[in-house]
Structure formats: structure tokens, C-alpha cells
Amino acid sequence: MDATYGVLWALPRACWIAFLVLMLIWIVHTQHGFAFSKTMMGSQGFLSYHYVFMTVAWPICMFEAIFSYRAPLYKLPHRNAHKYLHVALQTASGIFIILGLVFVGLFKRYNGEAQFFSVHSWLGAIAIAAYIAQYTAGFWAYLVSRWSPQRKAAFYSVHRFLGSACLLTAFAAILAGLQEVQIFDMWFKYGIKGFDGATAYSMLAIFTPIMALLILIQALVIVFHLVHGQQAIPVSRGAGPAGAVQEARGNKSSLGENGVITLNAL
């Protein structure tokens, strides 16, 4: 494992771990924790669960699903194991997305808020729609269909790009949501004085831009791998989409360090 791969393997994982830890601290100390009731302040607990479930769904599960081929946490002995891990992580992401939607729906119900009026909700809806389309298409193409290796190879480049675009859209929704919560909380708690020097750098305000920077770093790593990344798990001719690409390119892959065959990104 060279130094660049090591950094790109470790950096995004450090980001999502730090994001989750900061999120939990922020929720407990500034968002009334996880307790909830049918009152305006009590219902904040529903929103806290929304934050956590969507964090697990996108920056963790879906990110690890995408990187299960390119920079997996652990290289499994067979390529098929990575394929099923990819499906399992995407499925887990879908479960957490549903839970996140349930809890934000409960929050809005008890507070009488309208649905789908903010940048955050619009981008989130687009990301979820893209996730459903990607999950369905990928499941069909690589687990159900009897497509030829060449056809899988042609679809692979589209699937990989759209999957990354889906996650990046979700990241944009997270950034919009963090901005929305930061401004609302500062105004709700302090009014116009919430934006002066005394309170603008409190934990209530400063945690959200730090979390946003962590999401940005993850997004940049995804873009790097999309443009320059290599598949870093063993591949064989005709075995799955990467094997199909290898065959279609006339066996142009190269033997990397430790005898691992790598395939240049499309």
C-alpha cells in the first residue's frame, strides 16, 4: 500500500468518525438530546434521530459501499464478497434513510411545519430518488440479469458515476441542512444578538461549520477516486463489471504492488 493510497484510505474514515462524534456531542449539548414528547421543544428529539440516521446512511454506509471496491476497509478474499458487501451496505443505507425520513416527518407533524420547502429538503429528495434508481438498476444488472460482460462494462461506468453523483448530492443536502440548523438555532436562542462576537463562536454555532468541512473533505476524496482512482481488489477476466472492462480493454490492466491487479478508473 503506497503512501497516497494510505492517506486516501484513512482520511475519509477519520472524517466520518469525527463527524459522527461531533454530531453526537452537538446533539446532546445544543439540541436537547434524544428525549422527545409532543411539544415544540420536546419534539426536537425526533430531529436528533433524523440527524444521526442520515449521518449513518450517507457519509458512512453509502460512502463505504462506494469504496468497497476502490479503497475497502478490509480486502476480502474474493471479489464476489466485495460485491455482496457493496449490496449489504447500500441496503443498510436505505434502511437508515427510511428511519431518518420517519423521524423528520414526526418532527414536522408535531410542529405543524410544511414539507419540501427548503434547499435541504429538495436536495435530499433528489438524492433519495437517485439512490432508489441506482439501487434498483445495480441490483438488476449485477445480481439478476444475464447481461454479457461487455454490456456490464458499458453500464459500470454510468453506474459508478451516478452513484458518486448521488452521494455528492446527499452531501450537498447535509451542508444545506447544517447551515439551516445553525442559523435557526442562533436566531431562536439569541435573536439578532446571536450573530455578534459573544455568541457567534459558541459551541452552538461553531460545530456546524467544522462538520461541514469534514463532509467537504469526504466529497473531495470521492471526486479524486472518481477521476484518478484504481480498483484495489483482485479481479479476474469476466468476473463482474471490472473484469468485463478488463476484457473489453484488451487486458490493459497492470500488476500493482503485492501482486494485486489494478484497473485504471474509467
The mean predicted confidence, pLDDT, of the chain is: 84
Contact 60, 173 (CB under 8 A): no
Residue 242 placed within a domain: no
Determine what percent of the chain is predicted with pLDDT higher than 70. 81
Residue 261 has pLDDT above 50, yes or no: no
* 142: DSSP letter: I
For range 11-16, the mean pLDDT:
98
What does pTM read for this prediction?
0.84
pLDDT, tens digit, for every residue of 39-91? 555 688 899 999 999 999 999 999 999 999 888 998 888 888 999 999 999 99
CATH classification at residue 194: 1.20.120.1770
Q: Which pLDDT score, from 0 to 100, does residue 21 have?
A: 97
Structural domain range at position 50: 3-229
Residue 36 belongs to some domain of the structure? yes
121 within a domain of the structure (yes/no):
yes
* pLDDT tens digits, 209-255: 999 999 999 999 999 988 886 666 655 544 444 444 443 343 333 33
Cα(172)–Cα(46) distance, integer angstroms: 22
Q: How many domains does the chain have?
A: 1
The reply to whether 249 falls in a domain is: no
Give the integer Cα–Cα distance in Å for 125 and 210: 24
- The three-class DSSP label of residue 105 is helix
Confirm whether 264 is domain-assigned: no
Would 258 be classed as within a structural domain? no
* Lowest mean pLDDT segment, chosen from 110-114, 201-205, 243-247: 243-247
pLDDT at 174 over 80: yes
| Contact in structure between 199 and 193 (CB atoms under 8 Å) | yes
Determine the pLDDT at residue 262. Answer: 36
